Structure 1
Amino acid sequence: MHRVFSQIESGPLALDAALACDLSELTADELVRLNRLAQDLVRKATALGLAAMAEASRAEAHKNAGELSMTALVAKEAGVSRREAAQQVRLAQQLDAAPVLRESLGRAGMSTDKARIVSDALQDLPADLTAEERRAVECDLTAAAPDLPLEQLRRKARRAVEVVDVHRADTIENRQVEQAERRQATQVSFWMSRPDAETGMVKGGFEVDAVTGDVLRSLMDSATSPRKQDGAPDRPHAQGEAFVQLVRHLPKDGFGNHGGIPATLVVTVDEATLRGSTDRAGVTEHGTTVSAGQLRRLACDAGILPAVMGSGSKALDLGREERYHSVPQRRALALRDLGCAFPGCDRPPGWCESHHLVPWSRGGPTTVDDGVLLCSRHHHEVHDRGWELRLHPIDRIVEFRRRPAEPWRRNHHYRPLTLTG
């Protein structure tokens, strides 16, 4: 018998013994530790299973088990659908050609979903890349995968070749986004019921493309900012009331926020793309990637604000004449902070208020550099607990600390959405 069996045969018995334990006796710290250990076991077992699956596929071992295919064997043994089994077999086979990715499967933060994203991106690389360039892409995606949420990893994977050719990454991503936009345009739908005989209420639903969804999300975020709910019992009800107002009045410039900014969808685009001299995908404030062609169309919409990067515009700072940041200044803050800047917060710009880094009452100017977006909760937190804030002199990201001896902290939630290059 191969030595691999002597290495792992005791594992199931140890797990059976652990499953028989009363976990209610554990402290909170112990439960966190146990969960971490369990996830580590899952990752390592998955890595071993995929390696075995790849070898079994090569050896056509399914025939020895009386199955027609490796997919059928995996579906039977794992108790999953044939579709899921086929995905597992495909991933196992792809990992054979991706040794760096294969070796990373047991690392904290990795999963089969992330491995599949990276593996598919490697499969879709241009055929003319050299072996060295392919390995550079594999190493780059694999190194980033454990620390990125799935959606952010998908965005990075769309630009996989960026590590070796930024311009080519722009071209490939823009082509992919254009294809997705054309597909979405054929899938939009809407439905609405007749009024209910008893309640008089109407139900409805829709499917729209991501950019249209962002426009609606910006309107709803602006209309349901926590300080504007006026006694609404919960967020769904507040959103329902806002939707009613939107339908009845069809506003051109949305709802005003505290501080005076209307609900406008901000789309970041570089100047060359807007002028048509190059095609580089842009991104909305909600993180939706937009093709160059649609960016130029959106720039003509009165409800869309194209934030032109590299244009050299300086008309945002108004000095100290006003206490509240102006509409253009708040838009600039939204572009820089992308939401509440407090570490760990995920509130969008429509839920935020502008705050002075140096208090207005102590002579702080009402400028973009002296401003920061904070949601209502963290605005109170900063005021009540005396947080110290600064604008980092190099990358212009606002940082926070409670005491001088503590390290500066920043919000990493929105950073992957920032355009680079």
Structure 2
Amino acid sequence: MKNIWKGLIGLTFLLLGLTLWIVGGMYEDLARLVGESSFLTRFAMGIGFLLIFLGPILFWIILPLKERWYELHPKRFITAVIPLVLFLLLSFGVVISEIIHEPQLPIYSFNTTIKGNEIVVYINRITKGDLPDDLSIGLISQDEKQVDFDYVLDNELKDGEERVELNLYDVRFGNYTLIVKNIRGETLYQEKIEIKPPKYSFNTSVIDSEVYLTIRRIEDVVPDTLKVCLDEKEKFGQNCQEVEVKDEKTLTLKPRYGIGGFSKEYVVIVRNSSGDIIFNKNIVLKPKNIKFGDSIVVNNIKVTPILANYTRETCISLWGAEVKLKRVAKEGHFLVIEFEGKNVGNYTSSVVSLNEKVKTNKGYYNATTSLYFSLQPEEEGISYLIFEIPKDERGLEVYFKIGREERVLEIL
């Protein structure tokens, strides 16, 4: 009867140990999925392991041997059992200490560098650790907003190394903090990073009504999108373009609606993405010059100034009409400039001049009539610009605009 009870007690120890081992193992596996490990579950697994072997060994082996051999040979029994007990205790101690030992996450080393428009984080796993680990990498601004982030899963570190790139396209210049955390949310690495705007050199040249702006990046840092504007001072900000300069770039800047006269002062301003002005220069632009005999082609009509003369009387033709009005200068004389037009295209075309002005030795005057041509293919025609000016003044230059082409005609 005693042997039956011993067998049942040993079986109870075995089942209890198996229960603690299985339940503790399940909870431990769930905890390790998130990089955690509970001492309580590890302790339960250790006790379960001890009960699995200690119960059967004690109640199924040692106690039956004691009842059978201890009375006959007590010294031999003790001599034989003590080494076995010591060996079992030592073995159990080693195994249980390993079970209840707190598992460790991997250990890493980190290095960062800025390349172009990216922050590159180099990750090197020094020790693999006992638990799977996932890393989160974030770039935090001064106002504690996360401007970019990335994740590195445990299976992505198969060879122990990984390269992570954080985008800087939407990052403004200033101070940021790079933070790397493990699966437990513990900060493994933290570095202050200052994103500096790149430095540029600027060179300008002016040819007639065009500004050639050469921008060269002289410091290899984060690329920036520049806002380049050419406008009149009182209308600044209406004629702008955005450009990214990787090495060197030359831009051709033109007034948005033309100059509208003999000359006009403009301002060239360049701002970085933070809105800071990094270049500012005042520039005077003039339309291209044209001489008698030179031509421009607008809307397939070749327009050529032929000659200029002064007269007291002239006939004015309105918009190419055959009816002409005779006019006599009241107190001065007329400056009449003759233009020749020819249609060099394949369709009927028309052109008209705008904003005509003459510069004399004493002032400026608007035109009495405008240029107008409406010609069939290969057809030629004549049109006139007429200015009424005081008799003691002589014309020096004439400004006119046909389509988008602006010219200044030298009369003298």
So what's the TM-score if we normalise by structure 1? 0.20
Higher share of residues assigned helix: 1
